[in-house]
Structure 1
Amino acid sequence: MALRITVAPSKVVLQNFLICVILFYAVYYAVLGMGCMTLKVYELDVLAPFDFKTNPSWLNTNYKVLLVSTEVTYFVCGFLFILVVEEWVWDYAISVTILHVAITSTVMLEFPLTSHWWAALGSGLILMICGGQTLAYCLFKDNFIYPDLEEF
């Protein structure tokens, strides 16, 4: 056998995923609330994290709140996921993002095709993975899982 990786039991993976999803949306709504208070936006509803139909304009305060809260949420969650999943931040980041896209499609009753929404989501995901994985590597450098490629 060339590659030996211990796979966590499915219950642990599912539990970690559920914690990451709850953490993601808790941070999202907290940052969204702070953004609304800071920019004095009083018209966003509970479904704001799933809104991809807002007009993308720097003059539109609602759009700025949604964009900034998305980016800040992804950035902060990249670091918070380390507390739950240690060095597997990239895997859970992608999984949470896929679930977010599915929930967004379900809530809005259509698949998001707007390029500005995908750009914000993609850049946030890159922030989450790069920031989280870098910090995870620094924190768990001695315990990081490396594949055994000598016999490959």
Structure 2
Amino acid sequence: MALQVRVAPSKVVWQNLLICVILFYTVYYVVLGMCCVMLKVYELDVLAPFDFKTNPSWLNTNYKVLLVSTEVTYFVCGLLFVLVVEEWVWDYGISVTILHVAITSTVMLEFPLTSHWWAALGFGLISMICGGQTLAYCLFKDNFIYPDLDDF
């Protein structure tokens, strides 16, 4: 006799979202550390993932570290989210990004209005969704969920 545990669908969604957020920030800090070592930046703040006030200049090494770590994190997390949420990468990617903006606003005590930060976030989100959804399609194409558009 097997023990059967039924989990409410909303609980699964919240659990997956929590896993994705933890995965996102774990990857972010690992990539940030690697970028700091590669670009020889030794004075970066612990709150670097939330920093949107750094001067956007290619001469500013801190800015390059923040930009590269953001883009690499988004792309890698798009691939890793497939392991957690299968074909719903786009949904969880958008949700994690919205949470990241909310956490950033809370940590920095102001809403980010800098265009370079939003551009980096947008490009990262697009790469997350495209890379993750492509991998999800390749891995799960036999049981991929297609919407039924006949009733529209």
Question: How far does residue 138 in structure 1 lie from its aligned partner after superposition?
Answer: 1.1
Q: Distance in 2 between matches of 1:34 and 1:118?
A: 23
Q: Distance in 2 between matches of 1:97 and 1:148?
A: 28
Greater relative CO, 1 or 2 (CA 8 Å, sep 6+): 1
TM-score by length of 2: 0.93
- Tell me the percent identity: 90
Corresponding residue number in structure 1 for 2:78: 78
Corresponding residue number in structure 2 for 1:3: none
User: Which secondary structure does the structure 2 equivalent of 1:149 belong to?
Assistant: coil
- In structure 1, list runs of 5 or more residues that go unmatched: 1-7
1:130 and 2:130 are equivalent in the alignment:
yes
Residue correspondence of structure 1 range 1-152 to structure 2 within 5 A: 9-152=9-152
Q: CA RMSD, aligned part only? A: 1.0
Corresponding residue number in structure 2 for 1:5: none
Q: Distance in 2 between matches of 1:18 and 1:53?
A: 27
1:100-150 deviations in Å (ceiling 9; x for gaps): 000000000000000000000000000000010011011111111112233
Question: How far does residue 26 in structure 1 lie from its aligned partner after superposition?
Answer: 0.2
Question: How far does residue 51 in structure 1 lie from its aligned partner after superposition?
Answer: 0.2
Post-superposition, which runs of at least 4 consecutive aligned residues in structure 1 deviate over 6 A? none
TM-score by length of 1: 0.93
User: Which secondary structure does the structure 2 equivalent of 1:62 belong to?
Assistant: helix
Q: Report the number of matched residues.
A: 145
Question: How far does residue 151 in structure 1 lie from its aligned partner after superposition?
Answer: 4.4
User: Which secondary structure does the structure 2 equivalent of 1:145 belong to?
Assistant: coil
Decide which moves more: 86-95 or 138-147: 138-147
The code of the aligned residue for 1:89 comes to V
Q: Distance in 1 between matches of 2:71 and 2:98?
A: 16
The code of the aligned residue for 1:150 comes to D
